[in-house]
Structure 1
């Protein structure tokens, strides 16, 4: 299950250490204690660190980690894990950056969402895990999450979960209005028109403007608006994938075919329950949220593959998901990595899956028990088969900006205008592009289109 992280604006936060963050170290300097060296660390060294013991602090909000900590401490009784929730998403990133800049008060291990990982990795506040042989774990994870933790030639975290996208749809509504489950986004637009014409109070989906959704849709369309090579960054929302999304979604906005309802609001939950919001294109972490948030619609909903931008394709994208990273300033890096490996590549994976997390590990995505799991909420459908296929088909090559948290915070000031005025999505994306380029240049990056 994905705990919803509300992404609030971070105007003026100064997420990057200084104007030349990417060019200089943002960490508090050299560390002492286990794992502070830069050379390879053997399995024997990790075992010795665990046997010696100590205390590590983990900043994370993901609820299944509580049980993981309990089991880790039972297996390694000389190690104590102090699990602290300092806030979800942006709240934690603010606290984390403040600790980095102060040179003290930070954790040994931090949960970092994939979209935010680059800014901390390139800011040199995260430990490159290559010295532990982390790159050897690549085949254990699905492509999307692994690509996200691979930054500028290094491995800066281990994937904790994933969010391959699927189309959640209200079968009861589709049957009532004789709609066909769309296999392409053009068919999706057609369904939107038919539904709203038949019932002016019903909409194919909601969308009040969301940066994460927009970038995920562009990702699935084959877009590569962000290109990052060290300190060289380019932003181009006129590429083919971005244009496909903007042109198609503009039809929905221009004809008022999407409910102007903010996700996670009371009105949103009501719409999902009463059938006035008929679909959601979102990550595989959504089922648990439907079960807990919209219990009255149990049995009405189903899951289908994400509609395609080109008939016959099977391209997917990620929406959401987090990693665990070791802070470069940690005096207990070996213990930190040992916890990461236990939680994200060891026994902790099954613990989290039992708690409702969606896996990033291919062995679990492919296991028969996982694939055969029946979801009562979806009328007994084996929905994991859809999610697993989506995870395998995530389009490759996607990159986020090394200051994506800031970029997302100004989404509503740029692209968001297309949802509340005559501004087009294409114009909004151009404004977002310009704002992102300017901010990057101000932070010392070499930027351009």
Structure 2
């Protein structure tokens, strides 16, 4: 079975637990300059020959994506036959920090969650120069997520547009037309109507995990063109946008319209299969669920753009994501850049990543490329999804992804903030805090315990 999205959630959660030590990485590491002091010597340059030779070590997480990337190496070697790729499955969250600190056996390239890039930036190459020909064609949100003090420290991999997954069969039986859901007020109205038709149902998913709950909160904020911190790392939780989002979530909970469960945990799956939970606002990677975990309702589910917060507003926001980073102490960083350049910006490369393969027979349909020429809605890389009633998820996701507003760099303290904002969001669902109190309490705790201590 393929468990990519669930593994991603677990991997990000592990990363969150490591943030306290990650924040000290630059203080413990060698004196190699700071991201803010990026100079020509800290910006990676491309090789000066068309056929360079050498060996590179690439770290990826074990599992399905490792197998996908591994399968592309043969295609890469058709273009660069003199570069040998040593592809290693590694527990990156456990191993990367100490490796960068000691400078021993440092890999040339690493797959890394966007939320961790800024924590490691002092140990990474600034990729501004090699990415310059491609920046205008990369989703702005992904460039912003990898930017620290003007430097770009990751090769953007995936775009994870938020979508509204819904049980089309259950809604039709209840006489509800999902195409009428254009705003979050419309979603509330549809949920009330469904609950009236099916008493006892709690139609909208409410995330019970603190980390994923905050990640989903940031998806909603992304739609509104904001995020937890601005480009300078200044906290901006106390805003009309966050109050609007939290008020919506509080309404869902207070009116009993939400199934509160951990993402694809046992209770979540049970309610989805029973037709009690029929609306799931989540990243594209929820597509995994009907394909692998929902045999009873497989084929009943569909995806659409998220509702807008107001008429005419963006119909999607970013939820999570990963990039490829190149450590400065890697022996052959220039050659590793060619590998990632092939994966992301060469048609042969990105077609092999997202197209049908031995791991994903229909193609990799749990994300879309961050490179816009590869994410054209009219040129699908993966096929329609049978578990979504043969829906063209590619078209839905790429059109939604094109609406994601530009964002900001993810601050190094973001993962640690889930101990406060993520936890207080759950306390709001418990009825212990109001939206205003979440903003005040979590904001104060993040400022004093994370930001002021940097």
Please state which band the TM-score falls in when normalised by the shorter chain: 0.7 to 0.9
1:425–1:94 Cα change, 3 Å: farther
The offset of 1:310, in angstroms, is 0.5
Instruction: From the superposition, tell whether residues 70 and 25 of structure 1 become closer, same or farther in structure 2 (CA, over 3 Å).
Output: farther
CA offset digits 1:73-102 (Å, max 9, x no partner): 454344332323333xxxx33422222233
Q: Does 1:323 align with 2:323?
A: yes
Partners of 2:183 and 2:239 in 1: how far apart? 20
Q: 1:71 aligns with which of 71, 75, 79?
A: 75
User: Could you give the per-residue CA deviations for residues 201-229 of structure 1, whole angstroms, max 9, x where no partner exists?
Assistant: 32222221411101111221333431132
Determine whether 1:226 maps to 2:226: no
* SS of alignment partner, residue 328 of structure 1: coil
Note the residue ranges of structure 2 that are not aligned, 5 or more in a row. Answer: 34-39, 356-362
Question: What is the alpha-carbon distance in structure 2 between the residues aligned to residue 161 and residue 189 of structure 1?
Answer: 30
Q: Is 1:14 matched with 2:18? A: no
8 Å contact 1:58–1:107 — kept in the other structure? yes
Corresponding residue to 2:403 among 369, 388, 393: 393
TM-aligned CA distance change 1:148 to 1:12, over 3 Å? closer
Match of 2:360 in 1: none
Deviations 1:223-277 (A, max 9, x none): 3431132xxx311212121111011111011222211211021222232233221
Query: For the residues of structure 2 that align with 1:95 and 1:328, how far apart are their CA atoms?
Result: 16
Distance, in Å, in 2 between the alignment partners of 1:221 and 1:279 is: 20
TM-score (norm 1): 0.85
Map 1:48-447; keep pairs closer than 5 Å: 50-51=52-53, 53-61=54-62, 62-63=65-66, 64-73=68-77, 75-87=79-91, 92-121=92-121, 124-131=122-129, 133-181=130-178, 182-207=181-206, 208-209=208-209, 210-229=213-232, 233-346=233-346, 347-354=348-355, 355-356=363-364, 357-366=367-376, 368-370=378-380, 373-444=383-454
Deviation at 1:392, TM superposition (A): 1.0
Paired with 1:55 and 1:40, the residues of 2 have a C-alpha distance of 16
d(CA) in 2 for partners of 1:409 and 1:71?
43
Cα distance in structure 1, aligned partners of 2:125 and 2:147: 12
Residues in 2 aligned to 1:426 and 1:68: alpha-carbon distance in whole angstroms = 49
TM-score by length of 2: 0.84
CA distance in 1, matches of 2:226, 2:339: 35
Q: For structure 1, which runs of at least 5 residues remain unmatched after alignment?
A: 31-35, 445-449
Taking structure 1 as reference, are residues 204 and 371 closer, same or farther at Cα in structure 2, changes over 3 Å only? Answer: farther
Residue 44 of structure 1 and its aligned partner are, at CA, apart by: 2.5
The 8 Å contact of residues 317 and 394 in structure 1, kept in 2 or not, is answered as: yes
Q: Is the 8 A contact 1:28 1:103 kept in 2?
A: no
CA contact (8 A) 2:253 2:429 kept: yes
Alpha-carbon spacing, 1:369–1:234, altered in 2? closer, same or farther (3 Å): closer
Looking at structure 2, the residues matched to 128 and 12 of structure 1 have their Cα atoms a distance apart, in angstroms, of 22
Q: 2:8 aligns with which of 4, 8, 13?
A: 4
Kindly state the Cα deviation for residue 393 of structure 1 after the two structures are TM-superposed. 0.8
Deviation at 1:408?
Answer: 2.8
Deviation (angstroms), 1:334: 0.9
SS of residue matched to 1:211: helix
TM-superposed CA distance for 1:10, in Å, is 1.7
Offset at residue 15 of structure 1 (A): 1.5
